[in-house]
Structure 1
Amino acid sequence: MTEPLQTAARLRERMAAGVLSFPLTSFTEDGEFDPGSFRAYLRGQLDANPAAVFAACGTGEFFSLTLDEYSEVVRITVEEAAGRVPVIAGVGYGWAIAAQYASRAAEAGADGLLLMPHYLVKAPMDGLVEQVRKVAEATPLPLIAYQRDYVSFDAAAVGLLAKIPNVIGLKDGHGDLDQLQRLRLTAPESFLFFNGVATAEMQARAYASIGIPAYSSAVHAFAPEISKAFFTALHAGEQSRVDDLLRGFYQPFVELRDRRAGYAVSLVKAAARLRGLPVGPVRAPLSEPTPEELTTLKALLAAGLDLV
């Protein structure tokens, strides 16, 4: 079995047993990267035994990291994971810059890459496929494409992506289950799919109904207990328990998240700080929740922890 297929097989096996962790990146109050705090925070994430760790991705504020900061984030994640779980590093922007990040990720020991949407422009389908191809050709690492915002692949495009030797899967951030079913049926069985919408637990049952049970969990970044309780209930078919968690925590969290752009990260980081986790503030262009929203978030977090 080739290395990309080995990585895909390992991810598939682990995704059946846990959620995908997207850790936050720790900053000082002055906005500088804080490697010591990040290492301490990351240990807590790993102790919760996620299926895999996706370092320096959206929740980790990849878009605000310098290339050197990025290298250190990935290196620390690989060191702390110590082979226990796969480490997937985010890459993005145009393909030429993404290739530079991919090179740094390989040097740091990452097991694979998550290719986030390119910057600024809408592109035709053949251009979207070529963007993935150019990055894949520039790295030996297996690569997962991420469709969200203005990146959306059709079935023919996914068929082409699956033929690129080291492209092993697709993270979906759109939530269009009809289209996603078409993509899944087009791709080979070995091709990975997972639910990557914001607060993915809200749609986890729907994704599972079309054969995509794996999902990323932003809640894991601040409350692994809640994330794990939901995953366990979902996979055990405990529908009333799932409903209780959705009704008592996830749905009101999403309603708070939807108040302002960027809160899919800002609220997660604020919740982590409320739990005493050393993650610091968000960087611009994100902004912090208001004092009133923090009060609501604190009560909501307490309610979620009470449920589990």
Structure 2
Amino acid sequence: MSDGFSLSGVFPASLTMFDEAGRLDEPASRTHLESLVDAGAHGLVVAGTSGEFVAMTSDEKVRLVATAVAAAAGRVPVVAGTGTASTAETVELTRAAADAGAAAALVILPYYMRPHREEVLAHLRTVGAASPVPVLVYNNPANSGTTELDAVDIGMLYREGVVHGVKSTFPTVHQVPEVIDETGPDFAVFYGGFMAPLSGLAEGAHGWISGVLNVAVTEALALYDAVRAGDLATARHWAAVIRQYRYLYTRRPLGQVGDLALYRAMLELRGQHGGHCRAPLLPLTAEQRAELERLMAENPALFGAARAAARP
């Protein structure tokens, strides 16, 4: 929107707190969001993939944005996930999120119907032209099942003035510098995976958006600061710590578990509220939770940087 738009830093893709019956728990969501801001997060992303946006109604998403804005209390910007498979619905939700106080909208590629490239571009042009706030493209073709946009496509949309940032969620990192080459300093490039945050930040990403930041925001902030300071040794240390979280999901020591269920259980084992996912997503079994607790006891870093330092 306005010239000079800029977002940067560590933005947790926050969990949405649901109660045991699957209802949106706004007080618990606010408490969790406040804890992320209190820990130093530079911004919040709500109603994204980790927020289970596909399982939420539009009304719930708007209520969640309002909850996040109240939790942030002007300290950090709130980015609202507003993308759907429908262009008209995305426009409507983006406007509502802006009215609720969102600083920007994160718009997933239109999903499921597998629109081709020109249809994806038309969707984003329509949303961007109608949006009262800056639009970040959520370039996640694996989850959306849609044609990816390459750096040249993103650069074209940037020069047209319809998009102002991107969350680049690919299994590789080379897209980050390529998008930077095609855009300007007022375009926000976020690394959006959890496999290689050091590489993404070192390649020039202005920040990192990920669900793992619900449980590793302190470590991510240390990594981000080290990269900005050019301190490679310290950056490698924190990247190694963060990999311990990833291994719980990628190496499957608990068997088949969802990443969101892992984060929720970890929060609870740290004495925080984890909430519930919406079906069909399942929580950890009692056996998986016991094994997670054992693994965390063996690796105090998994209790979080601050808590691990305080443990005997």
- Structure 1 position 244, deviation (Å): 4.1
Q: CA deviation at 1:301?
A: 4.2
Match of 2:111 among 119, 130, 141: 119
Measured after TM superposition, the shift of residue 142 of structure 1 is 0.7
Q: Using the alignment, how far apart are the partners of 2:37 and 2:202 within structure 1?
A: 29
Q: CA deviation at 1:82?
A: 2.0
Cα displacement (A) at 1:151: 4.3
Relative to 1, partners in 2 of residues 1:261 and 1:294: Cα closer, same or farther, differing over 3 Å? closer
Distance 1:252 1:287, change over 3 A: same
The equivalent residue for 2:55 is 64
Which of the residues 264, 269, 276 maps onto 2:271?
276
Identity of matched residues, %: 28
SS at match of 2:166: strand
**1:188 alignment partner in structure 2:** 184
In 2, the alpha carbon distance for the partners of 1:115 and 1:253 equals 27
Q: 1:106 to 1:208 in 2, by over 3 A?
A: closer
Q: Which residue of 2 aligns with 1:289?
A: 284
Deviation at 1:300, TM superposition (A): 4.5
Q: Distance in 2 between matches of 1:119 and 1:23?
A: 21
Structural RMSD (CA): 2.5
Q: How many residues matched? A: 295
Query: So what's the TM-score if we normalise by structure 1?
Result: 0.85
The secondary structure found in structure 1 opposite 2:41 is coil
Tell me which residue corresponds to 1:173.
169
C-alpha separation in 2, matches of 1:205 and 1:213: 12
* Partner Cα distance (2:160, 2:257) in 1: 33
Quick one: distance in 1 between partners of 2:274 and 2:60?
15
1:82 aligns with 2:73: yes
Q: Which residue pairs with 1:22 in the alignment?
A: 13
Q: Please, which moves more after superposition, 150-159 or 124-133?
A: 150-159
Q: Give the drift of 1:299.
A: 4.2
Give the aligned partner of residue 223 of structure 2. 230
Structure 1's unaligned 5+ residue stretches are: none
Q: Which of 79, 86, 90 is residue 98 of structure 1 equivalent to?
A: 90
Between 159-168 and 111-120, report the one with greater CA deviation. 159-168
Change (3 A) 1:300 1:262: closer
Within 2, Cα distance between the matches of 1:105 and 1:250? 32
**Pairing 1:261-272 to 2, within 5 Å after superposition:** 263-272=258-267
**Displacement after TM superposition at 1:250 (Å):** 2.9
Structure 1 position 98, deviation (Å): 1.2
Tell whether 2:233 aligns with 1:206.
no
CA deviation string 1:200-238 (max 9, x = no partner): xx4122223432252124333134333333334444444
Gaps of 5+ in 2: none
User: Which of these residues, 34, 54, 65, is aligned with residue 43 of structure 1?
Assistant: 34
